[in-house]
């Protein structure tokens, strides 16, 4: 699961083309975006990768190899039956979707099999979620703050918990491609 805010789209535009087309697991993208965002962002991201890419729909089964985008203005949750659930509860860290909410939900379901990746951004969202990923036995990865357009988000995570890996975009792609 990948979370990001300001500056993260640039990273994804460079990262997605580097991902192998036969990923054996799903990738969920939780990005802070305006409430008025339309679903063309999923098409734009999809144009950067050979993997099927789509915006999440409520109660949709999670399919390996697919890249999912959390819709604007909904928290993205993972259910026990490994389907997505969309939630319209209050904003967390001024954000909906909240990276924390999604990472925490995924950590409950995927436990040690989860990798949480936090990209560029300008607030604290994502750090609490990465803590939940670590508590569940998963791995926490952040974008190297020196390469982030908005370094606050990955830097905040680095100063508040033990991060497993700090990567630039090329290293991040190689890491994701190496996961089984």
The CATH number assigned to the domain holding 154 equals 3.40.50.180
Question: What whole-number distance in Å separates Cα of residue 62 and Cα of residue 27?
Answer: 9
- Give this prediction's pTM: 0.96
Number of domains composing the chain: 1
Quick one: pLDDT at residue 56?
97
Tell me the per-residue pLDDT of 19-72, one tens digit each, with 9 for 90 and over. 999 999 999 999 998 776 556 899 999 999 999 999 999 999 999 999 999 999
pLDDT tier at 180, thresholds 50, 70, 90: confident
Tell me the per-residue pLDDT of 2-24, one tens digit each, with 9 for 90 and over. 999 999 999 999 999 999 999 99
Residue whose structure tokens are 């099927």: 52
The per-residue DSSP string of 126-151 comes to: THHHHHHHHHTT-EEEEE-GGG-SST
For 12, residues 6+ apart whose C-beta sits below 8 A from its C-beta are 2, 4, 29, 45, 48, 119
Parent domain of 123: 2-178
Q: Which residues are catalytic?
A: 5, 32, 125
DSSP 60: P
Q: Quick one: three-class SS letters along 72-107?
A: CCCEEEECCCCEEEEECCCCECCECCCHHHHHHHHH
Question: What whole-number distance in Å separates Cα of residue 175 and Cα of residue 160?
Answer: 23
Quick one: pLDDT at residue 36?
62
Quick one: pLDDT at residue 105?
98
For 14, residues 6+ apart whose C-beta sits below 8 A from its C-beta are 169
Quick one: pLDDT at residue 34?
77
**Distance from chain centroid for Cα 39:** 17
Q: Which residues pair with 29 in a beta bridge?
A: 2, 69
Contact 169, 14 (CB under 8 A): yes
Tell me the per-residue pLDDT of 91-141, one tens digit each, with 9 for 90 and over. 998 899 999 999 999 999 999 999 999 999 999 999 999 999 999 999 999
């Amino acid at each position: 699961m990948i979370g990001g805010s300001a500056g993260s789209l640039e990273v994804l535009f460079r990262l997605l083309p580097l991902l192998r087309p036969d990923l054996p697991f799903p990738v969920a993208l939780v990005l802070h975006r305006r409430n008025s965002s339309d679903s063309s962002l999923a098409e734009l991201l999809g144009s950067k990768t050979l993997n099927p890419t789509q915006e999440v729909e409520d109660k949709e089964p999670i399919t390996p190899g697919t890249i999912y985008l959390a819709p604007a203005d909904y928290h993205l949750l993972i259910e026990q039956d490994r389907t997505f659930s969309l939630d319209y509860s209050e904003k967390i860290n001024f954000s909906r979707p909240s990276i924390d909410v999604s990472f925490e939900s995924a950590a409950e379901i995927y436990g040690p099999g989860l990798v949480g990746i936090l990209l560029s951004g300008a607030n604290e969202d994502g750090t609490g979620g990465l803590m939940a990923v670590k508590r569940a036995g998963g791995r926490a990865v952040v974008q190297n703050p020196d390469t982030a357009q908005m370094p606050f988000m990955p830097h905040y995570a680095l100063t508040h918990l033990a991060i497993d890996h700090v990567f630039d975009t090329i290293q991040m792609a190689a890491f994701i491609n190496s996961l089984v």
